Amino acid sequence: MASFDNLLYELNATTGILRLTINRPSKLNALSVATIQEIHQAMQQALADQTVRGIILTGSGEKSFVAGADIAELTAQDEITARRVAESGQETFRLIEDSRKPVIAAVNGFALGGGCELAMACHIRVASENARFGQPEVNLGLIPGYGGTQRLTQLIGKGKALELMLTTDMVKADEALRLGLVNHVVSLAELLPFTEQLLGRILTKAPLALGMVIECVNAYYDKDQNGYQTEASAFARSFGTADFREGSTAFLEKRPAQFTGK
């Protein structure tokens, strides 16, 4: 198992819930290139580990999920290296988005720039009441580079996404909920317990079917896929699983299903 300098990797062996905590509190958990690489490694490790069933992504402390990119590091980039940084970040965030294991962002405070992009790559977002979202890159003469222009538009629509990126206005948690940027808003004290409870409810369902739902929803946004065909294919595959046989039998026998992910 890999060790990490900028992340806490905490697996609850009983529930199968992995908590990944970005741990750079002195930098408000800003995303350095090394931190993104560690997130990528941690996700690969989690996806390969059969004992990991679901993932919560959060930040250390009470002020910030991820306050943005590491600006000092960005100033050292040129056009060539900046493209590599963007492509590396996009690859990591796609790994999260395409994960067949559910990933929930527990957003504790500022989620700005790369932090907002990271949260949007997760399947579900739960925000604390003090959370703030935004894409302030144009203040620096930059634009979002880790998929923010695409995912923000997908989540809240073209007009509002353009407004937030062009004005760099921050969105409070309640407004983020109204816009559909987050799924739930809770107190800071409730954030992790609520998120764990939500993920726990999800993990009572059939693991293969959960992954297929994620696959099909993501296909809607993939220009190279026909989402309806992806759904039909996944629907057919589900009939060949032990989980389908168990789920349907348990329903008819009026008992809880015991899924194995097979």
Q: Is 117 annotated as catalytic?
A: yes
- Count of CA atoms in the C-beta half-sphere (13 A) of 28: 17
What is the Cα–Cα distance from 121 to 152, expressed in whole angstroms? 10
Length of the chain: 262
137 is catalytic: yes
The pair phi, psi for residue 124, each rounded to 5°, is -140, 150
- The type of residue at 82 is A
Q: Give CA–CA dist 100/97, Å, rounded.
A: 9
Give the β-pairing of 171-172 and 132-134: antiparallel
**Between the CA of residue 97 and those of 51, 102, 157, 211, 221, what are the distances in Å?**
20, 9, 19, 11, 12
Q: Is 19 helix (H, G, I), strand (E, B) or coil?
A: strand
Catalytic residue among 62, 73, 97, 117: 117
Could you say which of 97, 137, 196, 215 is catalytic? 137
129 token code pair: 């009441």
Please list the active-site residues.
117, 137
